[in-house]
Structure 1
Amino acid sequence: MLKNTPRSILFICLGNICRSPLAEGVMRHVWENSGRSEDIHFDSAGTNGYHTGDAPDPRSVEVAKLHGIDISAQRCRQLTRDDFYTFDLILGMDQVNMATLAQRKPEDTTAHIALFTDIAGVGDMEIPDPYFGDMSGFEEVYRMVLSSSKALAARI
C-alpha cells in the first residue's frame, strides 16, 4: 500500500499520443471498476509538445476500444511546471521520461515522481514506445499498462 491515497495521478510519455493516454484511460477504467470510493483525478501529458491538441494515436484509441475503454476524447498536452504541484504522483513510462522529469522538476515539487511499473510493484521495466511498430506493439503496451494499473490500484 502507498502511504497516502493520491488524489491525482499524471502519466507521462514522450508525445502523449501512445502510452500515456492509454495508461490514463486504462487506470481510470480499472479504478472505476475497483469498487473503491476515493475520487482520484487521472491525466496524461508528454515531455514534448509536438502533438498538443491532437487526439491520441488511432492505434491507441483502437486497442483501448477493443478492451471496452474509450480514450477518443482525450487531447494531447505537454507537461508543465504547474503539474509538479498539481499532481500527487507523476509516473513516467520509461527511463528517458524519468530523466526528463528529473531534469525539469522544481526543487520544491510536491509530486512524487516514479517509473509507472516500479511504483505499481510489477518491477522496474519500461513500457516501450509502440509508435514505430504495428498493432501488436500497442496490444503489448495495453497488457503492460493493464497489469501495472491493476497492481497500482491494489497498492492505493
Structure 2
Amino acid sequence: MNAAYEFRVVFFCMGNICRSPTAHGVFRHRLQARGLHDRVAVSSAGTHAYHIGEAPDARSQHHARLRGYDLADLRARQLAPADFEHADLLLAMDWDNLALAEAQCPPEYRHKLRRLTEFCRRHDSPVVPDPYFGGPDDFERVLDLVEDACDGLLDHIERVLATRRLLRP
C-alpha cells in the first residue's frame, strides 16, 4: 500500500473470493463517491491460500455488478504479516476468520482486528455469512450487510481522520 495514504483497511474472509472482495469493491466505490479514494487505501485477503491469484467468485461478481460494483480486477491473496503492521483496521467477515487472524497477529497489532459488521447501522448481524454454498439470496444478503457496514465504516474513518488533523502540531 502507498505510504501517502492516511488510513488503510484490509477486509478478510477465508478464501478471498466471495465476501472480502465484495467488501473491497463496495468500499472502494464508496471511497470514490465521498472523495476519499486518495486518502484511504483498501485491500482484501483470505486467511487461507485456497484461491491465490483467482478473480472473485462469478456469483459475487454478478450480484455486485447488478448494484453497480466492479470486482473484475480484484485477485485473491492471503493475509500477510505486513497487513497487521501497516493496516489501521483489519476487518473479518466472521468469528472463525477473526480467530485465525488473531492467532497469526502479533500482540501489539491485535487492537486493529475487528468484525466488519460492528460498523452496521441498519442490520443486526454479528457476521457476514459465507454465501459460497448458497444461492442468489445469500449473495444479496452479503451485499446488504456489506453496504450497510461500509457506510458506517466510512463515517468512522472520517471521524478518525478529522481527529488526526486536529491533533497535528
Structure-1-length-normalised TM-score = 0.89
Give the alignment of 1:41-56 within 5 angstroms.
41-56=41-56
- For 1:130, the aligned partner's letter is P
Deviation at 1:41, TM superposition (A): 0.5
Q: Percent identity?
A: 38
Q: Provide Cα deviations, 1:109-129, integer angstroms capped at 9, x if missing partner.
A: 3861111111x1545611000
Deviation at 1:6, TM superposition (A): 5.9
Deviation at 1:37, TM superposition (A): 7.3
Aligned to 2:77: 77
Aligned to 1:107: 107
CA distance in 1 between partners of 2:133 and 2:87 (Å): 30
Which runs of 5 or more structure 1 residues have no equivalent in the other structure?
A: none
User: Larger deviation: 25-34 or 43-52?
Assistant: 25-34
* 8 Å Cα contact 1:84-1:111 kept in structure 2: no
CA distance in 1 between partners of 2:54 and 2:38 (Å): 30
Aligned to 1:144: 145
Q: Give SS of 1:90's match.
A: strand
- For 1:71, the aligned partner's letter is L
* 8 Å Cα contact 2:120-2:150 kept in structure 1: no
Deviation at 1:38, TM superposition (A): 6.0
Aligned to 1:128: 129
Q: Provide Cα deviations, 1:10-56, integer angstroms capped at 9, x if missing partner.
A: 00100000000000110111121124576101000000000000000
Larger radius of gyration: 2
CA distance in 1 between partners of 2:65 and 2:153 (Å): 22
* 8 Å Cα contact 1:87-1:111 kept in structure 2: no
CA distance in 2 between partners of 1:153 and 1:24 (Å): 13
Alignment: residue pair count: 151
Aligned to 2:96: 96
Q: Provide Cα deviations, 1:72-92, integer angstroms capped at 9, x if missing partner.
A: 110000011111112111000
* 8 Å Cα contact 2:31-2:37 kept in structure 1: no
- For 2:39, the aligned partner's letter is D
- For 2:133, the aligned partner's letter is F
Higher relative contact order (Cα pairs below 8 Å, separated by 6+ residues): 1
**Against the structure 1 CA distance between its residues 105 and 28, is the aligned structure 2 distance closer, same or farther, given a 3 Å change threshold?**
same
Q: Give SS of 2:107's match.
A: coil
- Greater helix fraction, Structure 1 or Structure 2: 2
Structure-2-length-normalised TM-score = 0.83
